[in-house]
Amino acid sequence: MLSNSQIKHIVSLRQKKFRTEHQQFIVEGVKMVSELLNSEYKTIGIYGVEDFVKLLDYARSDRQPATEIITEIQLQKISNLETPNKVLAVARIPKKSGSGSGSGSAQLNNKLSLALDNISDPGNLGTIIRTAAWFGIENIICSENTVDAWNPKVVQATMGALFHVNIIYTDLENIVQEFNAKNIPVYATALDGKNIYESKLSPNGLIIIGSESHGVSQEILSLTEHKLFIPSFSKGAAESLNAAVAAGVVCAEFRRGR
């Protein structure tokens, strides 16, 4: 049974303001909530309809949080999905251990990381996080004007990959300057960049993906040594690539070996 104040609290987490205030976010569906329960994330509460709570995969039973059985009607009230999928969880936003400058970039030195400059579409951000996880990229650095990764649409679009990567919101210019100071390569996608298929790509460093409408900002590009371009094979003029597809092609090119 859910109280009205519980419903009000859960619904409030659709807004960034309240997610930030409570440091909590929403995860929905049997598969996603199972992924949450098997991750390092802290689950605060689980709200599911009677017969489906049993379907959850509680692999780490020592971490099993309180589960409340609710009605379909209550689930509809708290769900963000067009078709609610049996269960909704409230989880804690992880502490920003890697956030801010200084402490952040040391852990990134020997790895390949992704940076996102002003990605605004939640579906794109979620798909980029999912893609990064596939290609073994653990750290995703988001500019402060990138859409909130704990937005419910982002969370669902990651298909659970969110729980396996570190998301760091910080000043992207600072991070790029730190990489430059340490001589760790920084790459950015740019229309006037070099053909990525003919470029030397390092096994570590930072890859910056730009916003859907404006690409990587001029401020960041002016700090970036290596500009990369995915060539088009189209005869037309106006084509472009979706930001998540571009991220996928770039990550594959870095990882595939030559």
Binding site for a second copy (CB under 8 A): 35, 123, 127, 130-131, 133-136, 159-161, 164, 197, 230-236, 238-242, 244-249, 252-253, 255-257
What is the closest distance, in whole angstroms, from the C-beta atom of residue 216 to a second copy in the complex?
Answer: 18
Taking the least distance from each CB to a second copy, the nearer of 70 and 112 is 112
What is the closest distance, in whole angstroms, from the C-beta atom of residue 239 to a second copy in the complex?
Answer: 5
Q: Is 126 exposed, middle or buried (0-12, 13-18, 19+ CB in 10 A)?
A: buried
**DSSP-derived pairing of the beta strands 24-28 and 87-92:** antiparallel
Checking phi first, is residue 169 left (phi over 0); if not, alpha (psi -120 to 50) or beta?
A: beta
Question: Distance (Å, rounded) from C-alpha 157 to C-alpha 118?
Answer: 18
Taking the least distance from each CB to a second copy, the nearer of 163 and 169 is 163
Taking the least distance from each CB to a second copy, the nearer of 170 and 187 is 187
Q: Which of 39, 64, 40 lies closest to 53 in space, CA to CA?
A: 64
Taking the least distance from each CB to a second copy, the nearer of 70 and 133 is 133
What is the closest distance, in whole angstroms, from the C-beta atom of residue 74 to a second copy in the complex?
Answer: 27
Taking the least distance from each CB to a second copy, the nearer of 223 and 230 is 230
What is the closest distance, in whole angstroms, from the C-beta atom of residue 159 to a second copy in the complex?
Answer: 6
CA dihedral 101→106→107→112, nearest 10 degrees, is 90
DSSP, residue by residue, 47-87 = EEEHHHHTTS--S-GGGPPPEEEE-HHHHHHH--SSS--SE
What is the closest distance, in whole angstroms, from the C-beta atom of residue 4 to a second copy in the complex?
Answer: 29
What is the closest distance, in whole angstroms, from the C-beta atom of residue 129 to a second copy in the complex?
Answer: 10
Taking the least distance from each CB to a second copy, the nearer of 142 and 196 is 196
Q: Which of 218, 209, 128, 143 lies closest to 175 in space, CA to CA?
A: 143
Q: Which two tokens stand for residue 230?
A: 């995915």
